[in-house]
Structure 1
Amino acid sequence: MNRKILGIDIRNDTVSAVLLNIGIKSVKLEAFDIVSIPDDKESENTLADALATVVEKIDTNGCICFASFPADLATYRNIKVPFKDKKKIIQILPYELEPTLPFPVETLAIDFHIINTSEDTDHTDLIAAGIEKSAVEHYIDTLASFKIEPEIITISGYSQALCLAKFTNGPEKWLFADIEADRVTLFAVASKKIFLIRSFPIPSNTASAAKSLGINIQQTTAAFSDLFNADFIPEEIRITGPGTVKLNLDKELSDLLEIPVNRIELFRAMDTKIENYAASSFNFPELDNALALALNEDKGIDRLNFHKARFAVNEYLSRHKSSLVKTGILAGVVLFLALLNFTFNFYFMNKKINHLNHQITDIFKTTFPEVTKIVDPLQQMRVKIDEVKKSAFFSSETTKHIRSIDVLNEMSKRIPGKVDVDFTRLVISHENVVVSGITDTFNSADEIKRRIEESELFQKAMITSTTKEKSGNRIRFKLKVVL
């Protein structure tokens, strides 16, 4: 069954959209459009004005949507974590990021891009990215007002960098620059993996922009070496983006860095066959990222996604509605049978409990015939048994007529005040005393045992166990004293 995939690339000054119809064996370009975002200070939502124009030209009904927002809105950090499980990574990521951020981490929507997944290492290198939750909610709400609910919201340029890294031939190490009129997002690629993401402003004229970009490229390659303990000398710089229409950076940048600089057209670079494609009317620099957003879904690429919380449940429900209805009916039948079984069990259990209660009452009457008022036979029987025990034994004396208070007094006198010890349990039986406690060292435990053993009140003292606490600072011990 064919799927309609809509890629929407939202920039600071433009909105680009590409609609693909993807089948099992074919990819068809259905529509595309580029709309400038009005520079109107009086308008409350200029993005909405641009999107209104897009939906007039492109039928978005029934589409699966993937969107991107300006990359400069996000912050990026390279982090190394000591495990590989994605659930664990997302749990600890806020704590890893917090010390490196100048603002509260709670205000960010966070996701990560895994760099390495090698089994030879016990850690994971990743790029963590975060954007203000309020910004994400603004994009989601604005798109939702046009009945567009994207499954993924990522950063501009990232999808195209992924496509180029994974599905095109190129050198081992290279840079991809997504250029806008006043800003560049740079991606460092090695061995078909994105290792670094940097976003920075540039001047609006070609010469100054090339110089600024060159300096940032040099800083990025130096950062790569520091982070990964490996030299990064790019063999090629690939450029695209709306800014390349006005800024002719190719020659200036190549002469400055002495590295080949090439403009990239995603369609040709990937060698993907797309029906209804007309190269003459398709504006590569401004549409390539929207195209990459849609193609990434076709290729099944995992990517940064800042939209995992808002519409994930609704999208899942709409996609799997029929299956969920069938599952719900089956679950309802199972629940009904379980409830019926519970009702029968409850009835027979009550019947059994009543029978046992009658038996308990009969036993109590037989054992204690002098009791005429019976309220709670089980509790009354316990009280009677305790009374019998108290009449036979004296809790304050042992069988050798050594009082508990004397045992405590003797131990207190024998143990010097300088010994650091906390007693946690004392059990006095007919023949011995078992003492549990916590002290500072094994020697202290031996000293306590020796001191108690010297008493004429006790026959013998033995340390039955000593264990070191996990903190490593205290010793738990158990001492048995024969009376």
Structure 2
Amino acid sequence: DLTEESATDMGLMAALEVVAEKLDISGAVCVISIPGDRIAYRNLTVPFKDSKKIRQILPFELEPALPFPVEDTVTDFHTVSDLIREPESRNNTDIIAAAAENTTIKSYIATLELLKIEPETITVSGYAAALCLTRFSNISENCLFMDIDDEDKCSMFIIISGQICLIRSFRISPGAEKTESLCTETERTVAAFEEFFSPASNFQPDEIHITGYGLENFSGFEAEAERILGIPVKRVKLNRDAGAVIRPHPTTVLKTPEQMDNAFALAMCEIEGISGLNFRRGTFAPRRQWAEHKSSFIKTGILALLAAVSIFSMLMIESYSMEKKLAKLDLQINDIFKSTFPEITKIVDPLHQMQVAMQDIKKTAFLPGETGKYMLTVDLLNEISKRVAEKIDVEFTRFVVSADNIQIAGETDTYNSVDDIKNQLAQSEFFKEVTITSTSANAEKEGGNRVRFKLRIDM
């Protein structure tokens, strides 16, 4: 006897063989969803928002609630919107944690590998359709989404403000009371959600959206569910809402929208870059084989090598050209140096030697002070002119500047004026000491008696 799991694997293998036979799947991207009853879900609240930290603690948070050992699982999570929490609780992060047994994921990957297919994404049945419903369809603020498969299994999603806030998978009781059983599970799901997010959430769905292969087994489901729950029930048509046109293969038997929604949603999530739950993590992360892209890598390597050789050649040519220009400039510098400083015969570093020679020339035009700074002679004359008051009748006849002092000779009207000149010059910060070296009357000067004087100013 075949178990349900082995029968499913055989059916999947047979279906894939038909697809591979009729279509060229080389280079195609594969995304799959697995039945929701193979996954354990838990709504959790964690005290931080960083995704890496959440992934690190996820197994420890899930361990007490899992029906199988956490070390034998692969986990992922979906972040729940902050809108359903009280403002003071929004520093935490609400997530929907999902865990699948390693053996489950491994069996699907192994089946696909037999046909050399490596899936990029392994997610949950109905999850991609729920994401596309929030993205492309015009839905109410609060709603429920159900994906009903043909084995009396249902995945239910609570959606608030376009965000998935809860996922639950369960089996529907067989028999004539399927609709009533499904409605009972719906009421339980809503009650559990309200209890988890109490008191922030008072969730009541405005409408229910349904899809899935299993709807063929429910006769008059919409009307009966509306009667029991008092909530409008609508069938989803994702391809219409997304504005897509599906062109089937000539050998394909056309399906109803409910039968196509999940496959269409998986393709749309891949095309639109809509990310979410994906169990291809950890040991099951996709591995790119060298052989798969060997020819592309070789071609890229050859092109990179040619580009490197070309760049290196250009650099060598530019370097040689630059060296020639530098040699020419060095000759010009040497010629200018020789013509400017013919007394210097030994040239080692013309730039440095020229700077030193220029400094020596500048020093001859300056007077040194105690601080090691130098003053121009014209600045000394300006300082003396500013210090001597305009009302003093004075005429300077001699001005001699040496390294240590200044000798000044001149004539003025009175001896008091000589003292005033001496005192005024002594106030300058540039002069250390001002001394009157001699004074004498000059009666021979035309216009009356004048006083000759000599001053010595120490720097």
State the match for 1:186 in structure 2.
156
What secondary structure sits across from 1:129 in the alignment? strand
Greater CA drift, 66-75 or 317-326: 317-326
State whether residues 96 and 165 of structure 2, in contact with CA within 8 Å, keep that contact through their aligned partners in structure 1. Answer: yes
Taking structure 1 as the reference length, the TM-score comes to 0.56
**Is the alpha carbon distance of 1:324 and 1:125 closer, same or farther for their aligned partners in structure 2, counting shifts above 3 Å?**
farther
State the match for 2:21 in structure 1.
56
**Is the alpha carbon distance of 1:55 and 1:171 closer, same or farther for their aligned partners in structure 2, counting shifts above 3 Å?**
same
Alpha-carbon distance, 1:271 to partner: 2.8
**Counterparts of 2:15 and 2:79, CA distance in 1:** 34
State whether residues 38 and 50 of structure 1, in contact with CA within 8 Å, keep that contact through their aligned partners in structure 2. Answer: no
State the match for 1:16 in structure 2.
none
Q: Which one has the largest radius of gyration?
A: 2
State the match for 2:281 in structure 1.
308
What secondary structure sits across from 1:160 in the alignment? helix
For structure 2, list consecutive stretches of 5 or more residues without a partner in the other structure. Answer: 309-459
Q: How does 1:24-423 map to 2 (within 5 A)?
A: 45-116=10-81, 121-181=90-150, 182-205=152-175, 207-229=176-198, 230-248=201-219, 249-274=221-246, 281-309=254-282, 310-314=284-288, 322=296
State whether residues 9 and 111 of structure 2, in contact with CA within 8 Å, keep that contact through their aligned partners in structure 1. Answer: no
State whether residues 84 and 117 of structure 1, in contact with CA within 8 Å, keep that contact through their aligned partners in structure 2. Answer: no
What secondary structure sits across from 2:288 in the alignment? helix
State whether residues 39 and 46 of structure 1, in contact with CA within 8 Å, keep that contact through their aligned partners in structure 2. Answer: no
What secondary structure sits across from 2:25 in the alignment? coil
What secondary structure sits across from 1:66 in the alignment? strand
**Counterparts of 1:315 and 1:191, CA distance in 2:** 42
**Is the alpha carbon distance of 1:320 and 1:127 closer, same or farther for their aligned partners in structure 2, counting shifts above 3 Å?**
farther
Alpha-carbon distance, 1:107 to partner: 0.9
Deviations 1:368-413 (A, max 9, x none): xxxxxxxxxxxxxxxxxxxxxxxxxxxxxxxxxxxxxxxxxxxxxx
Alpha-carbon distance, 1:103 to partner: 2.2
Name the aligned partner's letter for residue 107 of structure 1.
D
State whether residues 248 and 254 of structure 2, in contact with CA within 8 Å, keep that contact through their aligned partners in structure 1. Answer: no
Greater CA drift, 272-281 or 99-108: 272-281
Alpha-carbon distance, 1:287 to partner: 2.0
Greater CA drift, 88-97 or 275-284: 275-284
Number of aligned residue pairs: 296
**Is the alpha carbon distance of 1:42 and 1:158 closer, same or farther for their aligned partners in structure 2, counting shifts above 3 Å?**
closer
**Counterparts of 1:189 and 1:311, CA distance in 2:** 29
Taking structure 2 as the reference length, the TM-score comes to 0.58
**Is the alpha carbon distance of 1:39 and 1:247 closer, same or farther for their aligned partners in structure 2, counting shifts above 3 Å?**
same
Name the aligned partner's letter for residue 251 of structure 1.
A
What secondary structure sits across from 1:239 in the alignment? strand
Greater CA drift, 111-120 or 248-257: 111-120
Alpha-carbon distance, 1:320 to partner: 11
**Is the alpha carbon distance of 1:172 and 1:318 closer, same or farther for their aligned partners in structure 2, counting shifts above 3 Å?**
farther
Deviations 1:138-166 (A, max 9, x none): 00010111111110001111100110012
**Counterparts of 2:248 and 2:14, CA distance in 1:** 28
RMSD: 3.4
Alpha-carbon distance, 1:283 to partner: 2.5
Name the aligned partner's letter for residue 210 of structure 1.
T
Greater CA drift, 265-274 or 169-178: 265-274
**Counterparts of 1:238 and 1:226, CA distance in 2:** 23
**Is the alpha carbon distance of 1:42 and 1:98 closer, same or farther for their aligned partners in structure 2, counting shifts above 3 Å?**
closer
**Counterparts of 2:303 and 2:178, CA distance in 1:** 63
Greater CA drift, 228-237 or 40-49: 40-49
Deviations 1:202-225 (A, max 9, x none): 1334x5111111111111111121
